[in-house]
Amino acid sequence: MKISHANLSRTIIYGTVATRIENSTDGATHSWKVFVRGYNNTDISYFIRSITFKTHETFANPTRNVDTLPFEIEERGWGEFTIQAKIYFVNAHERPIAFTINLKLHHDPQNKVIGDVEYDDNAIVNERLDTIIFETPTEGMYKILKNKKEPEIEGIVLEQIKKEKDAIERAIEFMLQRLKKDTST
Ligand code: SLL
């Protein structure tokens, strides 16, 4: 059975963190990690059963499934690429969700740091915050989510989310005004 208009959501943070390897002998220039975690590193395993990370064909066993915390894999390498991630939920009937994570080994203006946890000064971090919306969850999933409170997002992260939301709203308003103008001429 499914519950409609459940209006439940969960925040996740995902990304990569890399550090340069000095005097490498095996061709690897960086050690890196790809991860999916909770805000402030809170436990997300009460609703996520496992996460599959599909790396690059140049790696041995490119597809790896992680079913215990932390949901991450560690590697060494020399190049950047896009990782395919797929989240499987604790209730096996809940549809898995798939998305991509960009592995970054170099500083880039596109890289973002959410700011809820600390990293080494020289780490190359690229993170995104996202919300999983359970619009019509299975009954089992509904129960799991309903019985547990999400950590509250505070401080600078909350401000960032608000800013982004405001920017989106301004963009929508701008488009609407433009459409109005176009149709009236
Ligand atoms: C590039 N399009 O050319 C990318 C591919 C692949 C990175 C990057 C393998 C490490 C290993 C590795 O780092 N692959 O085999 O140990 O930049």
Per-residue pLDDT for the chain (185 aa), expressed as one digit of tens each? 888 878 899 999 999 999 999 998 899 999 999 999 999 999 999 999 999 999 999 999 999 999 999 999 999 999 999 999 999 999 999 999 999 999 999 999 999 999 999 999 999 999 999 999 999 999 999 999 998 988 888 887 888 888 888 999 999 999 999 999 888 87
pLDDT value, residue 34: 98
Model pTM greater than 0.85?
yes
Q: Where are the beta strands (DSSP E) in the chain?
A: 8-20, 30-37, 48-54, 63-66, 71-77, 82-89, 97-102, 124-134
| Nearest atom within ligand 1 for CA of residue 60 | 15
Question: Could you count the other beta carbons within 10 Å of the beta carbon of residue 77?
Answer: 20
79 lines ligand 1 (CB under 6 A): yes
CA–CA gap between residue 140 and residue 142 (Å, rounded) = 5
Do residues 86 and 98 make contact, with C-beta atoms less than 8 angstroms apart?
A: yes
End-to-end CA distance of the chain: 51
Do residues 11 and 38 make contact, with C-beta atoms less than 8 angstroms apart?
A: yes
The contacts of residue 93 (CB under 8 Å, 6+ apart) are 138, 140, 141
80 lines ligand 1 (CB under 6 A): yes
| Nearest atom within ligand 1 for CA of residue 77 | 13
58 lines ligand 1 (CB under 6 A): yes
CA–CA gap between residue 156 and residue 99 (Å, rounded) = 25
78 lines ligand 1 (CB under 6 A): yes
Residue at 81: amino acid letter: F
* Main-chain dihedrals φ then ψ at residue 157, nearest 5 degrees: -65, -40
Instruction: Name the closest-CA residue to atom 7, ligand 1.
Output: 79
User: Which residue reads 């990293």 in tokens?
Assistant: 119
102 lines ligand 1 (CB under 6 A): no
